[in-house]
Chains A and B, each alone.
Chain A
Amino acid sequence: MTDIQYLAPRTLDEAVQAFAASSGKGRILAGGTDLLVQMRAGTVTPHTIIDIKKIGEMTAIEETAGGGFRVGAGVSGAILREHPKLKKVWPGVVEAANLIGSTQIQGRATAGGNLCNGSPAGDSVPAMVAAGAIVTIQGPKGRRELPVEAVPKGPGRLNLEPGEIVVSFTLPARPKGSSDAYLRMIPRTEMDIAVVGCGVSLTLEKGVCTAARVGLGAVAPTVLLVEGAAKALIGSKLDEAALDKAANACRAACRPIDDKRGTIAYRTQIAGVLLKRTAAIAAERAGRN
C-alpha cells in the first residue's frame, strides 16, 4: 500500500492545477522512461503522478499556419519518426529523438521528458536548440514561451516556476535550401548516453550558408547554443577555414566534466569533430531541399 496518487487529467488546466497543488511533491509522467527508473531507485518519491498523455495538445503533432510544426511534449520518438512530413523538414530533430534508447524506449520516451529530465546529455535537446524550437509552457499564472535553450538551468534543474508544465515545441517553417542533422559520440553503436552530442541546422543559398544554429550536448552543465559556431558558418560556403573556425568555437564553448564516459580533453576535441561532420550532413540534406 502506498500513499501515491495517480492522475490522468484530460485538460491542461486540470494538469496545471494538480501539479501546482502538489507543492513540489508532484511529478509529470510523459513516457516514464526516466521517472519510473528514478522512482524505483528511490531518487524521487512523488506524492502525485500526473500522466499528461490524455491531454490532446500535448500528444499531437500539428502543422502551423506558416508551415512549421507544433510537437506536443508528450509525443514519443516513434510517433515523431512515423510522421510523414516532419522527418523531411526536420530530419535532425527526428533522428536525435530516435537515438534515445531502444525500440521499446522510443515507443514511450518523449522530447518533453528529455528536456525536463534536465540531463546535459539528452539527445533531442541539442537538435531542438539547433532547430530554434520555442517551448510553450503553461502554469498557474498562464502561458508563456521560452527558447528551448533557456529551459535547462543545470543538471536536473529547469528555469520553470512551480506548477509549470512544458506543453509543446514549436519548430519554425523552413526556407528553401534548409535542413538539419544531429550526431552524437558514444563508445558503442547503440544504447548509450552521449559523450558529446551536436545538432546543426542551416540554410544554403547558391552554396552560401545564410543561416545556421548549433546546439552542443554533454559538454557543459546544460545543453549549449553555440552562437560563435553559427557565426563562423554564416556567410561562408562551408569551406575548410569556416568549418575550422566553427569547430574551434564549439571547443571554446565546452565546459565539460571528466567522467567514465570521457575526459575533458576528449569531449572538447570531439565537439569540434562532430560540428564538422554534422554540418556536412545538414548541408548535404539542405542541398536537396
Chain B
Amino acid sequence: MAKLHVSTTINGEPQEFLCDADQSMLDVLRGPLGLTGSKEGCGSGDCGACSITLDGRLVCSCLMLAAEAEGRQIATIEGMAGEELHPLQTKFLEMAALQCGICTPGVLMAAKSLLERNPDPTEHEVRFWLAGNLCRCTGYDKIVRAVMETAADMRGGAR
C-alpha cells in the first residue's frame, strides 16, 4: 500500500508529510518531522506526555492517526515559545516545576490549553484538568503551584 500524503499546519507553518495508514501523529512528529518535544510515555493515552492541540483542542498525539491531520491545525510544544519563552515555561523554570522533564512538554501544552479557556482556575480545576498528565517524579505540587502563579501573573498583566 502506498503511503498517504498529508497536508497540514504545524505551529502555524504549512507542512506536508507521508505516513502509513496506521501510523500515529506522535510517530510522525518524532520521526520524519523531527519534532521530538512531544514524548512517548505509555502509547495508550494514559500519561499525556505526547499532548498536542488539534484545532485548538488538547489531545494525545499517540491516540491520533497522522492521516487525521489532513487540513487541520496542529500545535506542539515546539511552537509554544515565541521570541521569548511562554510565561508558563518561565514560571516552570523559576519554580523548578520539573524534575526529569519527560512529562514537562505535555504538562505545559495541557496547562496552556487550560489557561486559554479558564484564566482564573481554582487549584481543584488545575488538578482535574491535568489529571491526564502523569509525572513519574511525583512533582505535582510544584507543577500545580506554577500553573496557578502563571495564571495570576497573566491576569495581572492583562489589567
Residues of A within 8 A of B65 (CB): 6, 29, 32, 36, 49, 51
A92-146 at interface with B (beta carbon < 8 Å): 101-105, 107-108
User: Which of A4, A37, A104 is in CB contact (< 8 Å) with B58?
Assistant: A104
Would you call B131 and A190 a contact (CB within 8 A)? Answer: yes
Contact present for B63 and A32 (CB under 8 Å)? yes
Can you list 10 A-B pairs with a CB-CB distance of less than 8 A? A4-B22, A29-B65, A36-B24, A36-B45, A36-B63, A36-B64, A103-B129, A104-B58, A104-B110, A104-B132
Q: Report yes or no: B132 in contact with A108, Cβ–Cβ below 8 A.
A: no
Residue positions of B touching A, CB distance < 8 A = 1, 4, 20-22, 24, 43-46, 48, 51, 54, 57-60, 62-65, 67-68, 70, 110, 113-114, 128-133
The reply to whether B44 and A37 contact each other, CB–CB distance below 8 Å, is: yes
Shortest beta-carbon distance, A223 to chain B, in Å? 22
Complex Cα gap A40–B64 (Å): 12
Classify the interface of chain B: helix, strand, loop or mixed. mixed
A-B contact count (CB 8 A): 94
Q: Which of B22, B63, B68, B133 contacts A37 (CB 8 A)?
A: B63
Task: Report the minimal beta-carbon distance from A72 to chain B, rounded to whole angstroms.
Answer: 16
* Bound CA–CA A147/B13 (angstroms): 46
CB distance from B76 to the nearest CB of A (A): 14
Q: How far is the CB of A95 from chain B (nearest CB, A)?
A: 13
Give Cα distance in the complex from A78 to B59, angstroms.
Answer: 11
Q: Looking across the interface, which residue of chain B has its beta carbon closest to that of A105?
A: B45
